Each structure stands twice: as structure tokens, then as C-alpha cells.
Amino acid sequence: MDRNGFKRRMDSVVSRYKNLCVVVSSTVLIFIFINIVLSVLFSIKDEYCLAEYLPQGSDPGGAVYPGLSRQDRVELNRETWDRHLEFEPFTGFRERPRIGKWVNVHEGGFRDGGSESAWPPDARLTSIFVFGGSTTFGYGPPDDQTIPAQLGRILRDRSGVVKVYNFGRGYFFSTQERILLEQLIVNSTPPKIAIFIDGMNDFYNAKRTIMFQDAFARSVDLDGSAERSWLPDLPIHRLAAAARRRWGTQRPYPDPSINYDDPPAIAGVIERYRQNKRMIEVIARAYGITPVFVWQPAPTYKYDLKYHIFGHDLVDYPKYGYPAMARLVAEGAMGDDFLWLADIQEDSKEPLYVDRWHYTARFSGEIARHLADFLLERKLLGVAVRTGDGDVRLQSGG
């Protein structure tokens, strides 16, 4: 090849390279521009397009949120659902700390009900840690109307100085709650009483060990090194996810592929719960903690679904699993530290749920009252006395 031919060949290669660089750089710039535009549009949507935060796109009004305006109901639901979890060692994840008008999560990992901001707890006072899933955290009610917040007010009115901490977390079930108690004992002042409100999530986790376990597995290489994809953080990924939800194939509900009336699965859930209960009791004895275990109401057990605004078609594991647990309770197999509240809604003729599964503030208050009665009737809080320095404290109960 002569010199001129070689030069023409090189000029052609350089020209193609330049064209490729223009195409790649233009694509990258367009991609960045699209994400910037989408980010702005999503921020505007999140600020002003509020209707999507009403449960199921409906506006139940006073039926489940009495006394709140439509704007307040929408903002409460937005604060409830427009939140993000964050990684936590051993338990997997926790509610991300936040400050809002309706939903506040303390850096200590608990939902702030208005009077529990001191952390760690004062060892001189009677502190109660309440564990559970999203119904305990209170997906739906504002801070001061969750089960733990209302329990705290009742106990303070009836027994003296008590601090109730809401460690309910979305998706948590008995295994994660046990681990969380262990971590809190190691890292803070142990509570005087630890309450575990369970039932629904143990059954909803019948076939998995922890929520988001597939995502956790994908985030770790085979050699054990962690990796994290940045793609889910991009606005264009949110747009694609929204498109899939709107136009993609939706899994039907109830899911016909799941056999909820599955005796081996139900027996496995109950046995796992009882093992966790026994381990918690052993840990509690070692640290002077009084454990209390509560089996919570579920909409598919002894509740007339015609009063359920969002759950006329509900079918799930609790529908078939709760009767199995009820038989154990009737046999006295769950012990004196166990409170059965699954059937307190049996005669109710009003809406008790703000969506398919989460309690209204009123129903949360009813659960709190039953729980307070249980604690006080068994003298688990002890007797209030005034000490020489003027503080009111509770002597340990029996």
C-alpha cells in the first residue's frame, strides 16, 4: 500500500472514530438530559399530584379518617407510603429516620409518638419496647394514634410514668423482631417489658426467610463482595417501573398460583413463631425483661368483609392459619405471656382498616386498650411510688 492509500485509510478510521465519539457522547448527553427532565417532572408530580396517595385510589373520608380533611388524608398517606427503608445489619432493613407532620422516625430506629424522644431510655423509668410489622408501626394512622402511642397514653393515665417505644417496622415478623431485641439489648438500655405483636406477617412470610431476600442476594457477589446498582436510583428507571405497573401484566389478586390452604406451610409458620417465642423468653429472663406476645387481628379471620372498604376479595394465609393457632390457644399451649386478640373484631360492623391490611386509628386504640388491660391485670408494671428526689417511678411487678 502506497503512502497516499495508507493516509486515506487512516483518515477513514479517524473519521469513523470521530463519528462514533459524537454518537456515544450525544447518547450520554441525551440520557443525562432525559433523567434531569424526568427528575424535575417527578418532583413536581410528588409535590402536587396527591390523589395517588389515597388508598386504592379511593377517598374513604370519615369512614377511616374521621376529623381529617381530604388534603390532610392525602398528606398523611403520602408521608406513610412515600418513604424508603434503609439497610440495617442483622435484621436486614429498618424504617429510614425522617421528620414529617404526620410520620416521624427517630434516629434510634423507633417511630416517635410524641413523648419517647429520649434515647437511650432512662434506666430508672419503666420502658416498654413494642415490636411488630407495619400494623404496629402504624401504616395509616399518624404518630400519636398508632397502637404503641395509644398504649403509652393509656398506661400513663392509669399507672404513672411509662415510656413506650414503637419499634414496629414494615414487613417485620417474629424472626426479625427477635434479632432486633437482641441488637437493642447489646446497644442500649434493655426495656422492662418487650411486647411482640404478630400474626399477619409471620404468615405472609410463609415461603420466604426475609422480605427483599432476592434483592439482598443479587447485591452480593459469589466471592462475598457487595455491589450496588445505581440504575434503580435513576428517574428513567422509575418511569419504566411505572409503565410496567400501568401497562404490564399484573399478578392477579388473590394469586391463583398460591395455595393458601396449605397445612404444611401453616404448621411451619406456627412452629417457627413458637421457636422464636421460646428464644425470646430465654433472652428476656437473662436480662430481666418481661416478654408479652400478642396475636393480632387479621381481616380474613372473624371479620365480616362486607364492612371492609378495601378487602371484599381478600384471601390469604391467615384465613386458614389463624384457626390452627386458635386451637393451640384453646389448648393452653401458648403460655401465660400470650394475649389472643385475633377475634376482637368478630362483632364489629364498621370499617377497621385503612387499606387491605392496616388498622384505623380507632381500631389501633381498641387493640391498645386490650393490651393495657392485660399488662395492668397481671401487675406487670408494678406500683407507682414517689421517691425522695420527687420522681415518680414504678416498682417492678410480679
C-alpha cell at 103: 410520620
Mapped onto helix, strand or coil, the DSSP state of residue 267 is helix
127-136, 172-181, 303-312 — which is least confidently predicted?
Answer: 303-312
Mapped onto helix, strand or coil, the DSSP state of residue 292 is strand
The confidence score (pLDDT) of residue 61 equals: 57
What DSSP state is assigned to residue 51? G
Phi, psi of 167 (to 5 degrees): -100, 20
Query: Which numeric CATH code is attached to 86-221+256-394?
Result: 3.40.50.1110
5-14, 45-54, 115-124 — which is least confidently predicted?
Answer: 45-54
What DSSP state is assigned to residue 201? H
User: Which candidate, 320, 321, 325, 303, places its Cα nearest to that of 312?
Assistant: 303
Higher-scoring residue by pLDDT: 33, 280? 280
Q: Where are the domains of the chain?
A: 3-36, 53-82, 86-221+256-394
Q: Is 60 exceeded by the pLDDT of residue 279?
A: yes
Cis ω on the peptide bond leading into residue 254 (within 30° of 0)? yes
Distances (CA, A) of 55 to 49, 60, 158, 311, 312: 14, 8, 35, 12, 14
Terminal-residue alpha carbon distance, the chain? 101
**Digit-coded pLDDT (tens) for 55-71:** 554 555 567 888 888 88
Please compute the mean of the pLDDT values over residues 94-108 and round it to a whole number: 90
* Cα separation, 381 vs 374, whole angstroms: 10
The angle formed by the CA atoms of residues 288, 194 and 140, to the nearest 5 degrees, is 165
The confidence score (pLDDT) of residue 147 equals: 97
